[in-house]
């Protein structure tokens, strides 16, 4: 049930976009962001704005090239998104926000129960092993791909 303290915490009126990080959220996430590489040039981009841009794309589902002009360039945002998804930074950020939102709602940090309906169970058992086997078998070559083999085969048969 929504209470007045929940509404205050969920209020995003002071932010530029609804997906932007509040100051409290940024204070929680800032230590998780890896520092700039040693040597080379200083980091000139505002990392908070890069996260705001990533969250904007995730929130709205827009294309990378449709990022608003007041956010960093899409190539910069994409490069950070690619790097942080590779090194696990985005996974740590997601986990921290997930745990924080559950604790804020008065729940345990991780769920204690899960619900699996029959459709999910059917789909998982049907498609799992088949896809793995297809990915591990070597590709077959077509007989008709070589004109020499088809002409030789018809001459001897």
Question: Residues 6 or more apart from 138 whose CB is under 8 A from it?
Answer: none
Distance CA 30, CA 34 (A): 9
Distance CA 146, CA 124 (A): 39
Which comes out higher in pLDDT, residue 153 or 113?
113
Note the pLDDT of residue 132. 46
How would residue 82 be classed by pLDDT, with cut points 50, 70 and 90? very high
Q: Which of these, 67, 70, 49, lies nearest to 58 by C-alpha position?
A: 67
Stretch (H or E) spanning 141: none
How would residue 109 be classed by pLDDT, with cut points 50, 70 and 90? confident
How would residue 74 be classed by pLDDT, with cut points 50, 70 and 90? very high
Question: In the chain, pLDDT over 70 holds for what percent of residues?
Answer: 66
Q: What is the mean pLDDT of residues 86-90?
A: 91
How would residue 143 be classed by pLDDT, with cut points 50, 70 and 90? low
Per-residue pLDDT tens over the stretch 7-44:
655 667 677 888 888 888 889 889 999 888 888 788 88
Asked if residues 51 and 45 have their Cβ atoms less than 8 Å apart, the reply is no
Q: How many CB atoms lie within 10 A of CB 56?
A: 21
Which comes out higher in pLDDT, residue 100 or 148?
100
- CA torsion through residues 85, 87, 88, 93, sign: negative
How would residue 156 be classed by pLDDT, with cut points 50, 70 and 90? low
- Give the number of residues written for the chain: 157
> Across the chain, what does the average pLDDT equal?
76
Where are the domains positioned within the chain? 19-31+45-110
């Amino acid at each position: 049930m929504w209470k007045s303290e929940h509404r205050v915490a969920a209020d995003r009126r002071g932010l530029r976009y609804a997906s932007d990080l509040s100051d409290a959220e940024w204070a929680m996430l800032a230590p998780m962001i890896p520092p700039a590489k040693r040597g080379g040039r200083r980091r000139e981009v505002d990392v908070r704005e890069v996260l705001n841009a990533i969250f904007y794309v995730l929130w709205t589902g827009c294309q990378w090239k449709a990022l608003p002009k007041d956010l960093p360039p899409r190539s910069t945002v994409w490069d950070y998104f690619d790097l942080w998804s590779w090194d696990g930074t985005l996974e740590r950020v997601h986990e921290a926000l997930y745990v924080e939102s559950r604790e804020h709602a008065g729940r345990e940090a991780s769920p204690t129960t899960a619900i699996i309906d029959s459709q999910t169970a059917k789909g998982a058992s049907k498609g799992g092993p088949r896809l793995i086997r297809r990915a591990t078998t070597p590709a077959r070559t077509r007989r008709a791909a070589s004109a020499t083999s088809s002409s030789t085969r018809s001459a001897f048969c």
